[in-house]
Amino acid sequence: MTIVMTAFERSPDGGKGLARDTRVRWALEEVGLPYEVRLLSFRAMKEAAHLALHPFGQIPTYQEGDLTLFESGAIVLHIAQGHGGLLPDDADASARAIAWMFAAVNTLEPPILELTMAMLFERDKPWYAGRLPLVEDRVRHRLEQLSRRLGDADWLDGAFSAGDLMMVSVLLRLRSSGILDEFPGLAAYVARGEARPAYQRAFAAQRAVNVGQRAGGE
Ligand code: GTB
């Protein structure tokens, strides 16, 4: 059954791999599943045909036979549960890996998103200089906690899992802020994720679409 996912026709990041299709591509590459990518313009994302797949008119979506999914975390979990390599066989370890997936999107991603949104859209606002340190400190607080838990380990809980895939994907978005480099253990963790051949293939695939294209907005 052919897997079809959606991605930006022209990602605003110009090929840095920061849009959420990259984590889905990465999961598919980790488990060795072939897939097709349907590219969408911002306008097409808001049209009825796409809204039938994604209620919020966004990417990524995932279609496999009769199944249609949205939400990158749910898509990665579906891939991980159906194919070996991204969740441990042990039921408790698997539950913990899923908890890390939720931690990535529910505990780390919100303050990181707030910071990136502020840096992108609030620079010219009168409150920007005063607010930025507060937003940065919220991110630092979570990174300190995460860094402490990771310690000297390569991955969050034993072998690389979908929890790491999601966490690295979320942390990657911090790179341009410089904050990640304040936490060398986390910077090395992200670099380990990026070095995985499956990530490299996913990154190259999205880059081939986006590099050289001009930014068109968030
Ligand atoms: N919670 C959803 C998920 O995890 O799938 C969020 C999906 C989402 O935010 N999709 C974004 C989208 O479709 C693309 S990833 N936006 C278009 C719209 O809402 O109209 C967010 C994103 C966009 C651009 C960059 N970038 O250029 O760096 C990074 C991340």
CATH code of the domain containing 71: 3.40.30.10
pTM of the shown model: 0.96
Closest protein CA for atom 6 of ligand 1? 71
Distance CA 108, CA 60 (A): 20
Residue 16 sits in the same domain as residue 100: no
Contact yes or no for 169/26 (Cβ under 8 A): yes
Residue 131 sits in the same domain as residue 172: yes
The separation between the first and the last C-alpha atoms of the chain, rounded to the nearest angstrom, is: 32
Residue 127 sits in the same domain as residue 151: yes
Residue 67 sits in the same domain as residue 126: no
pLDDT tens for each residue of 66-118:
999 999 999 999 999 999 999 999 999 999 999 999 999 999 999 999 999 99
Ligand 1 mean position to 20 CA, how many Å? Answer: 6
Distance CA 163, CA 156 (A): 8
Residues with CB under 6 A from ligand 1: 11-13, 18-20, 42, 45, 57-60, 71-73, 218
Contact yes or no for 7/59 (Cβ under 8 A): yes
Residue 98 sits in the same domain as residue 186: yes
pLDDT of residue 216: 44
Distance CA 183, CA 189 (A): 10
Residue 115 sits in the same domain as residue 183: yes
Q: Which atom of ligand 1 is nearest to the CA of 13?
A: 27
Chain Cα centroid distance, residue 205:
15
Structural tokens at position 162: 């979908």
Structural tokens at position 200: 């490299």
* Paired residues of 4 in beta bridges: 36, 63
* Paired residues of 68 in beta bridges: 63
Ligand 1 mean position to 101 CA, how many Å? Answer: 17
Residue 58 sits in the same domain as residue 117: no
Residue 59 sits in the same domain as residue 114: no
- Residue-range definition of the domain harbouring residue 15: 3-85+198-217
pLDDT tens for each residue of 15-60:
999 999 999 999 999 999 999 999 999 999 999 999 999 999 999 9
What interhelical angle do 72-82 and 162-172 show, nearest 10? 150
What's 161's domain CATH number?
A: 1.20.1050.10
Cis, peptide link before residue 60, omega less than 30° from 0: yes
Ligand 1 mean position to 152 CA, how many Å? Answer: 32
Instruction: Name the domain count of the chain.
Output: 2
Ligand 1 mean position to 94 CA, how many Å? Answer: 27
Residue 171 sits in the same domain as residue 95: yes
Residue 105 sits in the same domain as residue 124: yes
Ligand 1 mean position to 35 CA, how many Å? Answer: 20
pLDDT of residue 218: 38
pLDDT tens for each residue of 128-177:
999 999 999 999 999 999 999 999 999 999 999 999 999 999 999 999 89
pLDDT of residue 213: 64
Closest protein CA for atom 29 of ligand 1? 19
Residue 190 sits in the same domain as residue 209: no
Q: Which residue has the tokens 């919020």?
A: 56
Residue 11 sits in the same domain as residue 75: yes
